[in-house]
Structures are given as C-alpha cells and as structure tokens.
Amino acid sequence: MAKQSMIEREKKREKLVLKYRQKREALLLEFKKANTFSDQMQLHKKIEKLPRNSSRIRLRNRCWRTGRSRGIYRDFGLCRHMIRDMAHNGMLPGVRKASW
C-alpha cells in the first residue's frame, strides 16, 4: 500500500492538469507558430509561470487498488502483485496462468 499522502498528491496533480490543460495547449501552439526568437521567449516565460504540477508529464500511473506506482499494467490499471492475486482467484476474465 502506498502512503496516503502520495496518493492524494497524485490526485491534486490530476486536478491541476485538467484545470490548466487548455491554457497550456494554447500557449504551446502559439510557441510553435512564433516566428521570432523574442516572441518565443515571451511565450516561454508565460508557460514557465504555469504551475509545474499542471504539466501532464508529471502524472504517474498508479494501481487503483493499492496506489503502487511501479509495475503497472495499463490494461487493468493494476500493479503486478494485484494482477497475480486477482488472476489466481479468477477475478480477471480471460487471464489464466501460463503453462507449456
């Protein structure tokens, strides 16, 4: 189980990403279209003033069951430990233990 503070911090980041997404996308689009270096620098300053945690790159995948941040399978949104436990208990449809 992950610390509750880490899980809450991640939720806060998700809210910030949603709040600033349109503004950030608009500024980045303007930045790409800017012709002069001085225009780019002005737009860069505006982008820098946005909160750091509003950047999508700062989000981390977490297991929805335990909050673990490593070993996450995208198909299920679970960490490897939970996938193993749930697969053994027959809780994941279509998943079975490999044997050959």
pLDDT tier, 61 (very low <50, low <70, confident <90, very high otherwise):
very high
Query: Mean pLDDT over residues 21-31, rounded?
Result: 95
Whether 46 has a pLDDT exceeding 80, the answer reads yes
> Is the pLDDT reported for residue 19 higher than 80?
yes
CATH architecture designation of domain 63-99: Irregular (4.10)
Q: What is the pTM of this model?
A: 0.75
- Determine the Cα–Cα distance for residues 29 and 97; give it in Å rounded to an integer: 47
Decide if 82 contacts 67 (C-beta within 8 A): no
The domains of the chain are located at 1-60, 63-99
Q: Which residues pair with 73 in a beta bridge?
A: 78
